[in-house]
Amino acid sequence: MCLSELFTTYMINASSRLDLIIKDFLVPIKATLKEDVLIIDLVDASLQTNDKNFKIPSHKRIVRINKEDYNGLGISIKGGWENKTPILISKIFKGMAADLSGQLFVGDAILTVNGEDLRNASHDEAVRALKRATSTVELVVKHLRERYILLKS
């Protein structure tokens, strides 16, 4: 049975937003079926880069970021022990503290927040740790290249 036979009953030339699971990691996509072709596009353009020479450090890094007033870091995270994945930065919002620092990247795993270990944290525990952080936030991060490729491609 070909791909189009599976979907023809339900949709022809249709498009949907979905979460694609790759190695236990959710990747938001837009799937469009056109006759015998399934087109999959990454939903969040901020996860993509056109610079093929861009290299993100792969070693553990200590990153200190000063937050402005009551604003957050300006990141979204995914993962947690319930998803069997590390806490990963999935989005960095332009103009916010994390973006302005230039030290964090989509695909960075957050290992600690102000000394609090997040390596076995749930998603909710990580969110709470990030929200508790005062005006200066110290993160220990490590870029996970494999996860970044899944996020950006």
What Rg value do the Cα atoms of the chain yield, rounded? 18
Task: Give 106's pLDDT tier (boundaries 50, 70, 90).
Answer: confident
| Domain at 52-152: CATH architecture | Roll (2.30)
Tens digits of residue pLDDT in 76-97 = 999 999 988 899 999 999 999 9
Q: Break the chain into its structural domains and give their ranges.
A: 3-43, 52-152
* Residue environment code for 70-104, b if the CB has 16+ CB neighbours within 10 A, otherwise e: eeebbbebbbbbebebbbbbbbbeeebbbbebebb
pLDDT, average across residues 43-56: 51
* Phi/psi-derived region of residue 6, left when phi > 0, alpha when psi is between -120 and 50, beta in every other case: alpha
